[in-house]
Amino acid sequence: MKSKIEEYLKEIENYTSDKLSDIEQFRIKFLGKKGIVTALFEDFRSLEKEQKKAMGKPLNELKNRASQKIEELKATISGERRVNFEKDLTLPANFDFQGSRHPVSLVINRIISIFEKIGFDVSEGPEIEDDWHNFTSLNFPEEHPARDMQDTFFVQKDPDWALRTHTSSVQIRVMENQEPPIRTISPGRVFRNEAISARSHCIFHQVEGLYIDKGVSFADLKETLLYFARELFGKDIKIRLRPSYFPFTEPSAEMDVYWGLNNERDYRMTKGTGWLEVLGCGMVDPQVLENCGIDPNVYSGFAFGPGVERTALHRFQMSDIRLLFENDKRMLKQFSSAL
């Protein structure tokens, strides 16, 4: 056994390689479950007591030297790669996988850049809101369905606090602390107790916009939304405004974009109409302005709130909103080039 150990030590000392695959095979040969060192330790068990004393040290030395040699070879490869990269900056980076931004983040960033071009700044607020900022200041009456448990996620044991149902609460905070003119957008995550389907989710994102100044009209709102739609969906996009109702705007409308009816996915997403709702909008109710300390006889304004997920579905031609919340790497990898 002693002569075998000496031969193996020489083999270890003389071995060299610059390939990780070869080094791994070398490791398996000596240190694997069926490797040389394992087999020698099996033979070691059958030796006499005196022989064990003589062979124990050389056998452990063989094992340690094999491990040390493997680490040395791996370190050499890593060191050479690092030195080569420092010398030649044209070498490609050694990344196995390029990261990607989430489709929701891509859309939010795009919407922010569109409105920043026309003077809107960005404002943010808390996701857990009190009753005043989430409901009362926005003209929600006490009996409004949104205040019920089946529509809103209230904080346990405290009905005056809830997960915000819209980022309009951020706009209230802005109006309370800033004098007009105000031109801001409020991106963020919101929560509503809704059934999850291909078209809707209980968690989603909004980028609500607000413009308060003297002489602001519904025509200003329409032109702003038309500019937004053309910048986001393309110059040929068709939009329509339908009368609607929101407690905090009057008059109110919902804006649809023409998705099309080219395949089964289009019929499912648009319920056979070809149109997809992307945002709600309207002129800020004078009472909301008054609630925030702004004189409605002097100032007027409009507000709007595009839903990010549906915009992402349209922009990236996706058919199910649930894909945006599953974090499936196979889906996310498709957006690695969108950084």
- Reading the block at residue 55, the tokens are 């062979």
Cα gap 327→203, rounded to integer Å: 14
pTM over 0.85: no
Domain total for the chain?
2
Domain shared by 236 and 157, yes or no: yes
Confirm whether 97 is domain-assigned. no
Answer whether residue 95 is part of any domain. no
Residue 287 domain boundaries: 103-338
For residue 53, being part of any structural domain is answered with yes
Rounded CA-CA distance 42/187 in Å is: 66
Is 246 within a domain?
yes
The structure tokens listed for 339 are 């950084």
Look at residue 94 and tell me if it is in a domain.
no
DSSP 74-114: HHHHHHHHHHHHHH-TTSPP--SS-----HHHHHHHHHHHH
Q: Which residue has the tokens 């199910």?
A: 320
**SS3 state at 121:** strand
Domain boundary among 33, 63, 87: 87
Residues 187 and 81 placed together within one structural domain of the fold: no
Q: Supply the DSSP string of 25-81, one letter for each residue.
A: HHHHHHHSTTSHHHHHHHHHHTS-HHHHHHHHHHHHHHHHHHHHHHHHHHHHHHHHH
Q: Return the pLDDT at 168.
A: 92
Residues 162 and 290 in one domain: yes
pLDDT-flagged residues of the chain (< 70): 77-99, 146-150, 157-159, 336-339
Residue entry with tokens 């329509």: 240
Q: Is the peptide bond before 92 cis (omega within 30 degrees of 0)?
A: no
Contact 212, 176 (CB under 8 A): no
* Residues 206 and 237 occupy one common structural domain: yes
Instruction: Decide: 191 and 202 in contact? Cβ < 8 Å.
Output: yes
SS3 of 283-307: EECHHHHHHCCCCCCCCEEEEEEEE
Could you tell me how many helices (H) and strands (E) the chain has, helices first? 12, 9
Look at the alpha carbons of 318, 111, 176, 248 in this order and tell me if their dihedral is positive or negative: negative
Confidence (pLDDT) at 330: 79
- Are residue 48 and residue 79 in the same domain, yes or no? yes
For residue 132, how many other CB atoms are within 10 A of its CB?
A: 14
Q: Is 201 helix (H, G, I), strand (E, B) or coil?
A: coil
Any domain includes 93? no
**CB 330 within 8 Å of CB 246:** no
Domain end among 60, 87, 114: 87
Instruction: Give residue 87's pLDDT.
Output: 56
Q: Are 295 and 284 spatial neighbours (Cβ–Cβ below 8 Å)?
A: no
On whether residue 113 sits in a domain, the answer given is yes
Give the pLDDT of residue 339: 43
Alpha-carbon distances of 331 from 55, 99, 224, 334, 338, rounded to whole Å: 58, 12, 33, 6, 13
Cα gap 81→267, rounded to integer Å: 54
For residue 323, being part of any structural domain is answered with yes
* H/E stretch holding 14: helix 2-14
Query: Would you give the distance in Å from CA 320 to the centre of its chain?
Result: 17
Q: Tokens for 14, please give them.
A: 């003389």
Give the Cα separation of 321 and 290 in Å (integer). 38
Q: Give residue-wise pLDDT tens across range 77-87.
A: 655 555 555 55
